[in-house]
Structure 1
Amino acid sequence: MTIMKTTWFTGAAMAAALVVGPALAANPIYTGGQSGSYFGSFGPLLLDVLKKEFFDYELKTSAGSGENIEQVLSNPQAIGMTQTDVLAFKSAQNPAIADKISIIRNDVTNECLYAVTTEANQDRLTNWGAVAGYARRVRFALGPQDSGSAQTFQLLQSFDERLAEASKVSYLDSTDAAIDAVINGQADVAFFVQFPDPSNARFERLNDAKMVFVPVVDRNILRQRFADGERAYVPLEVKVTSAGLLNWQGVEKIVTACTPLAYITGNPDMLPEGSTERLDQEEMIKIVREVPVSELQPQAGWFQSMLDDLAQVSEQGLEKALQAVDDARESIAQ
């Protein structure tokens, strides 16, 4: 009798352990900061697509594009959201990345490159040629060193000899802290990468502070290509202020370089052949690639207005802007 009770108790305990034991962890989708658009706007839409197909993923915050790439390298089943130019930069530094990471898609939207300075610097820092020309003496402020903005800046330095001379570069806790440094006179130029949404509070604040936008575009930037020949950057005309906010001598629109937002994951070949994990990975990639792009784009007013405001640049207009950049760079070099 005692034996039967002991056996029953042991079996019941084992059954209970099976019931309350820890569930398998969901695969992560690395986004960015909790207040950012990756986490708040784009991540949830990707999560919905995956959950409809019974994939188990969850959103994870991170320091940004650089960290997201590293996380996917460490865990092939993870998904990361990153600026495509940052992925290209990392791949150039470590060619093995191209074999270990798959781009699921990079056609959802673009992020654009911005530089801002004060009114006092407006006449000297008229375009990116002038910024690069003065780079050795200009004080630059950026967000965290692992952020997409900081990685982009380092990429620009890698192919621009004048910009590479910049030695007064401060990496701060956030993009807003970098902007504050310029407003407070502790830096001359803040550089950041952002969705071109002029209704965003950051743009409103920049306009309230009467900051000057410096277009980040030149011939070197537009010549950058990926291994497959695709352009790393496209020039777009973007709004930098919403209607009614421009109450000073600033501009409403600029032409600047923009780079696609990429969804990345581990190459399925990194997982055991024939395994459930590899089969799921292959199917996940296929499903996300085939879903209509509209299902991955926010329906919120800010995003739709942003799409409406983006404009291609005419060849004549772009050439005029690029020539002005060339002239500024050459005049400072003399």
Structure 2
Amino acid sequence: MTIIRSSWGLSWVTGAVAAVTLSTGALAAEPIYTGGEAGSYFGSFGPLAVEVLRKEFFEYEVRTSAGSGENIQQVLRNPRAIGMTQTDVLAYQASQNPTISEQITIIRNDVANECLYAVTTESNAERLGNWGSVTGYARRLRFAMGSEASGSAQTFKLLQSFDENLAQASKVEYMGSTDDAIDAVINGAADIAFFVQFPDPSNARFERLNDAKMVFVPVINRTILRQRFADGERAYVPLEIKVTSAGLLNWQGVEKIVTACTPLAYITGKPDLVTAGSDARLDHEEMIEVLRAAPLGDLQPRAGWFQSMLDDLVEVSEQGLEKALQAVDDAAQSVAQ
């Protein structure tokens, strides 16, 4: 697995929120904003951060949210809060609001990667075989994804911001959830469902996609991989990931794809936003150091799905990556003609 440890934390970087208390001092606890109750941020990663901090007598609690976009906004409102976000979503919001880089610190972003997926129907497989074809036809395609506040929607907007072909996509529908977006493609109401997720092929969503004989379209091209933010760090890394579990491949689809992935970032407010000389300021600075110093394994889920996911991730060879990127280039050129 390719891991990114960023130096951004040294220099940079909406809705009612239901609290789920994981600490004994509920009134004194600071929040860790995650995502929905069914999501991995809330159920798997957030509690581990709470556990690491509690060992050093810090009181934090996991709270639900609408996802990466809201988590960034919550940290902007409360600099002592912790937020979990896709690194590319943070980069996108910072590009839209430069003051974000002055207010937010990335504590670390080496714990896990989330990957970019696009799916379409089997009947579209030949015409939409890779991201070059998708961007080439973008103006006419119907895209579906989760809510506009979701990390997936924010990622899509970032991709549009540097891809002039994808920027022409005007038939973009934001839906209640990623599963709703997938349903729209299955039912013929959309051509492409786009989402960002941990590459866990045992997840029920992947089982459903395979049962519906959906085609996975790798979301990768040279422009995506060239994206750099703050101190030259990459926003995306190419990984070979599984899209089906053993025994689930019941048609002529693929077992693995090479797609772009973005790190999960743990963010908080810059210490100088907390009153100088106060206990709160000292605690905030020490909290950052505690999380940065924590062994990687203490922040990674011990569950079988996560460990299996790590085992399945493969760093793409230079030759394999070039072959995939050339196919994308050829497809984009073919559509343009």
The two structures have a TM-score, normalised by structure 1, of 0.93
**Runs ≥4 residues deviating over 4 A:** none
Counterpart of 1:202 in structure 2 is 205
Pick aligned residue for 2:262 from 259, 264, 275: 259
Q: Deviations over 1:284-324 (max 9, x none)?
A: 00000001010000111110010000001111111111111
> Residue 161 of structure 1: SS of its match in structure 2?
coil
- Deviation of 1:54 (Å): 1.3
Q: How many residues align?
A: 313
**1:177 to 2:175 alignment:** no
Alignment-derived partner of residue 46 in structure 1: 49
Q: Which runs of 5+ in 1 are unaligned?
A: 1-21
**Aligned-partner Cα distance in 2 for 1:25–1:166:** 46
Q: Which residue of 2 aligns with 1:143?
A: 146
Shift of 1:24: 3.6
1:106-147 alpha-carbon deviations (Å, 9 max, x no partner): 000000000000001000000001000000010000101011
Q: How does 1:1-334 map to 2 (within 5 A)?
A: 24-334=27-337
Alignment partners' CA distance in 2, 1:196 and 1:50: 27
Structure 1 residues 23, 161: closer, same or farther in 2, change over 3 A? closer
- Rounded Cα–Cα distance in structure 2 between residues aligned with 1:297 and 1:65: 19
Moved more, 80-89 or 92-101: 92-101
Indicate the residue corresponding to 1:7 in structure 2.
Answer: none
Shift of 1:53: 1.2
Matched position secondary structure for 1:260: strand
Q: 1 or 2, which has the higher helix percentage?
A: 1
Q: Give the superposition deviation at 1:25.
A: 3.9
Aligned-partner SS, 2:250: coil
Cα deviation for residue 50 of structure 1 reads 1.1
Counterpart in the other structure of 1:12: none
The superposition leaves residues 223-277 of structure 1 with CA deviations (integer Å, 9 ceiling, x where unpaired) of 0011110111000000000000001010000000000000000000111110111
Percent identity between the aligned chains? 78
Shift of 1:23: 7.1
SS of residue paired to 2:233: coil
Q: Which amino acid letter does the alignment assign opposite residue 266 of structure 2?
A: Y
Q: Secondary structure at the match of 1:144?
A: coil
Mapped partners of 1:25, 1:158: distance in 2: 41
Structure 2: distance between partners of 1:101 and 1:23: 25
Query: In the alignment, what sits opposite 2:7?
Result: none
Residue by residue over 1:191-212, the C-alpha shift from the partner in whole angstroms, topping out at 9 and shown as x without a partner, is 0000000000000000000000
SS across alignment from 2:228: coil
Q: AA paired with 2:254? A: V
Q: What is the match of residue 17 of structure 2? A: none
- Classify 1:259/1:23 alpha carbon distance in 2 versus 1 (closer, same or farther; 3 Å): closer
Superposed CA RMSD in Å reads 1.0
What is the CA–CA distance in structure 1 between the aligned matches of 2:64 and 2:28, rounded to whole Å? 16
Q: TM-score, normalised by structure 2?
A: 0.92
Report the secondary structure of 1:123's partner residue: coil
Measure the CA separation in 2 of the matches of 1:52 and 1:108. 19
SS of 1:220's partner is: helix
Q: Which has the larger radius of gyration?
A: 1
Q: How much has 1:218 moved relative to structure 2? A: 0.1
